[in-house]
Chains A and B, each alone.
Chain A
């Protein structure tokens, strides 16, 4: 057990937003069968959205491309799922939310409060939904305003998930911190696309989308490393983590915990596998606890 922004986590692996997070039952399965230390819901917005047409996700040699388009049943539609996750998952449940404006963010946050999420994670980083996500998350002033506004209306920690599709991620991270964020989550997917050369059509229904998986891990490690230097608040590392070695590396760069997304493709109990691997590594190295790893590489000069 250790504490992250006031949450008690049994291990530092967290199910990332948008992965197996559409239903309460699925979130419970990621926790119980998968072994996740906490779970993040699908990003929930003010209105029901069906998302982009398919193909919405394809596997590449180097990772995955997706453009889901923030499909969600809206906060009234999601409340019962959140309640199921809270009741039966046995782990902290983090509500990922999005909006196009400050008012929409607070509307969704307040709307989900009755479901008692343990944390709100603000999605200001989805790279492929017009008017949402990275459309707001590349503007530091807006990120600060949204963070501050949500902090005002909720009584639980607020994490802000950052996009790497900016020239300097620490500017947006600093804005989130100034707005009162309790932690930042880095990174969301990198902009990408694939083209079907037989027909010339872009493969994704949205034409382009976001890259995740192995290919983005070095980018995520660098972002986390830079954020660790720039910020006081904890960083949750996400991007291409698919083994305990990846998780340790992310923590040495400065992550207090890791989120795991695409790697559930291989196996749902990837969370257990990674947390067991981290524990074994700590023992082998003689480290007293997982906190010893956080930011370790910054000391190696």
Chain B
């Protein structure tokens, strides 16, 4: 598909560095965990998790996102997608735990919405640098219990999501969905591996994408060779055993870069 034209209808400030861009398209088939390729014309095209059927939630981190932050309501960008494998939805009565760090909340908030809608019990561990950086706290709270951690202690537990996770009985949950900075996900992964519950955990990975459609191979992870754009971005914990998670990623040239 060629990029669809998406016109910005509303912009909301989620934190000092994170904004949600609502656009005039609705991806009716979108499932939580999927991403779109966002084309900021004449600059670059980058993958972004859908935070709703009609929104992306973006952290200003590089050239493309900086340009995106210059756009106003009425401006437009290109969108291809939705692409990628999704968080598996719980069935009614199942208990799920969401672990979200920073802008990692973006693909998990629609998951919380969907899980709540099917009648599943949703607990969330929500982490960020400070109280101001917590993303979608109300959406998670609307779905169930939220445990907050902040690095600086300005809200909730002072520390990391793993400080809260280590106190929870993870055996109580049927599914665990994780997205956040890779260092955080790697810590969560180790903890869940120790508790022997990796098979019910899913992680959404971020890697440099080129084609975004599973052909070029730029986003393949070691040692499985799985493509983050097509076989992921959501992987089961078992798929990530013995993987590069938390150790290295690759730059646009394919060189390994330590995390």
| Chain A residues with a Cβ under 8 A of chain B | 18-23, 25-30, 42, 48-51, 53-60, 64, 66, 68, 71-74, 77-78, 81, 194, 196, 198-199, 201, 203, 205, 261-262, 264-265
How many angstroms from the CA of A196 to the CA of B42 in the assembled complex?
A: 12
Q: How distant is B137 from chain A, measured CB to nearest CB, in Å?
A: 32
Interface contact A25-B224, CB-CB below 8 Å: yes
Interface contact A57-B254, CB-CB below 8 Å: no
Q: How distant is B41 from chain A, measured CB to nearest CB, in Å?
A: 5
A213 nearest CB neighbor, chain B only: B215
- Answer whether residue B251 sits at the interface, using C-beta atoms and an 8 A cutoff: yes
Interface contact A203-B222, CB-CB below 8 Å: no
- Answer whether residue B37 sits at the interface, using C-beta atoms and an 8 A cutoff: yes
Among the stretches B12-20, B43-51, B52-60, B166-174, the one at the interface with A is B43-51
**Which residue of the partner chain, among A22, A25, A203, contacts B254 with CB atoms under 8 Å?**
A22
| Most chain A CB neighbours (cut-off 10 Å) among B41, B44, B225, B255 | B225
Q: How distant is A237 from chain B, measured CB to nearest CB, in Å?
A: 19
Task: Give 11 pairs: A residue, B residue, CB < 8 Å, sorted on A.
Answer: A22-B216, A22-B218, A22-B220, A25-B223, A29-B226, A53-B44, A58-B3, A73-B253, A198-B76, A205-B44, A261-B215
How many angstroms from the CA of A17 to the CA of B222 in the assembled complex?
A: 20
- Answer whether residue B5 sits at the interface, using C-beta atoms and an 8 A cutoff: yes
How many angstroms from the CA of A203 to the CA of B42 in the assembled complex?
A: 9
How many angstroms from the CA of A77 to the CA of B45 in the assembled complex?
A: 26
Among the stretches B84-92, B156-164, B204-212, the one at the interface with A is B204-212
Q: Given A50-B251, A73-B254, A196-B5, do A19 and B46 touch, yes or no (CB 8 Å)?
A: no
- Answer whether residue B183 sits at the interface, using C-beta atoms and an 8 A cutoff: no
**Which residue of the partner chain, among A50, A53, A66, A196, contacts B2 with CB atoms under 8 Å?**
A196
Interface contact A21-B217, CB-CB below 8 Å: yes
Interface contact A58-B214, CB-CB below 8 Å: no
How many angstroms from the CA of A102 to the CA of B203 in the assembled complex?
A: 46
Interface contact B225-A25, CB-CB below 8 Å: yes
Residues of chain B within 8 A of A264, CB atoms compared:
214-215
- Answer whether residue B165 sits at the interface, using C-beta atoms and an 8 A cutoff: no
Residues 179-230 of B contacting A (Cβ, < 8 Å): 209-218, 220-227
Q: How distant is A207 from chain B, measured CB to nearest CB, in Å?
A: 10
**Which residue of the partner chain, among A18, A57, A68, A194, contacts B212 with CB atoms under 8 Å?**
A57
Interface contact A48-B253, CB-CB below 8 Å: yes
Interface contact B216-A20, CB-CB below 8 Å: yes
Interface contact B211-A57, CB-CB below 8 Å: yes
**Which residue of the partner chain, among A18, A20, A51, A196, contacts B252 with CB atoms under 8 Å?**
A51
Residues of chain B within 8 A of A59, CB atoms compared:
1, 213
How many angstroms from the CA of A42 to the CA of B252 in the assembled complex?
A: 13
| Most chain B CB neighbours (cut-off 10 Å) among A20, A54, A58, A68 | A54
How many angstroms from the CA of A22 to the CA of B220 in the assembled complex?
A: 8
How many angstroms from the CA of A194 to the CA of B211 in the assembled complex?
A: 15
- Answer whether residue B80 sits at the interface, using C-beta atoms and an 8 A cutoff: yes
Interface contact B215-A265, CB-CB below 8 Å: yes
Q: Is the interface of A mostly helix, strand, loop or mixed?
A: loop
Q: Given A19-B215, A21-B217, A42-B217, do A199 and B44 touch, yes or no (CB 8 Å)?
A: no
Residues of chain A within 8 A of B250, CB atoms compared:
22-23
- Answer whether residue B78 sits at the interface, using C-beta atoms and an 8 A cutoff: yes
* 1/0 contact string of B245-257 vs chain A (CB within 8 Å): 0000011111100
Q: How distant is A101 from chain B, measured CB to nearest CB, in Å?
A: 20
A31 nearest CB neighbor, chain B only: B225
Interface contact B225-A19, CB-CB below 8 Å: no
How many angstroms from the CA of A229 to the CA of B227 in the assembled complex?
A: 40
| Most chain A CB neighbours (cut-off 10 Å) among B46, B215, B218 | B215
Q: Given A49-B253, A54-B45, do A194 and B2 touch, yes or no (CB 8 Å)?
A: yes
- Answer whether residue B39 sits at the interface, using C-beta atoms and an 8 A cutoff: yes
Nearest 5 Cβ contacts at the A-B interface: A29-B225, A54-B45, A57-B211, A50-B252, A20-B217
A195 nearest CB neighbor, chain B only: B2
Residues of chain B within 8 A of A42, CB atoms compared:
217, 254
Interface contact A54-B218, CB-CB below 8 Å: no
Interface contact A50-B1, CB-CB below 8 Å: no
| Most chain B CB neighbours (cut-off 10 Å) among A23, A60, A264 | A23
Interface contact A26-B78, CB-CB below 8 Å: no
Q: How distant is A41 from chain B, measured CB to nearest CB, in Å?
A: 10
B41 nearest CB neighbor, chain A only: A201
Interface contact A205-B220, CB-CB below 8 Å: no
Residues of chain B within 8 A of A30, CB atoms compared:
225
A74 nearest CB neighbor, chain B only: B253
How many angstroms from the CA of A265 to the CA of B230 in the assembled complex?
A: 9
How many angstroms from the CA of A25 to the CA of B224 in the assembled complex?
A: 6
Q: How distant is A239 from chain B, measured CB to nearest CB, in Å?
A: 15
B38 nearest CB neighbor, chain A only: A54
Q: How distant is A78 from chain B, measured CB to nearest CB, in Å?
A: 7
How many angstroms from the CA of A42 to the CA of B223 in the assembled complex?
A: 18
Q: How distant is B62 from chain A, measured CB to nearest CB, in Å?
A: 12
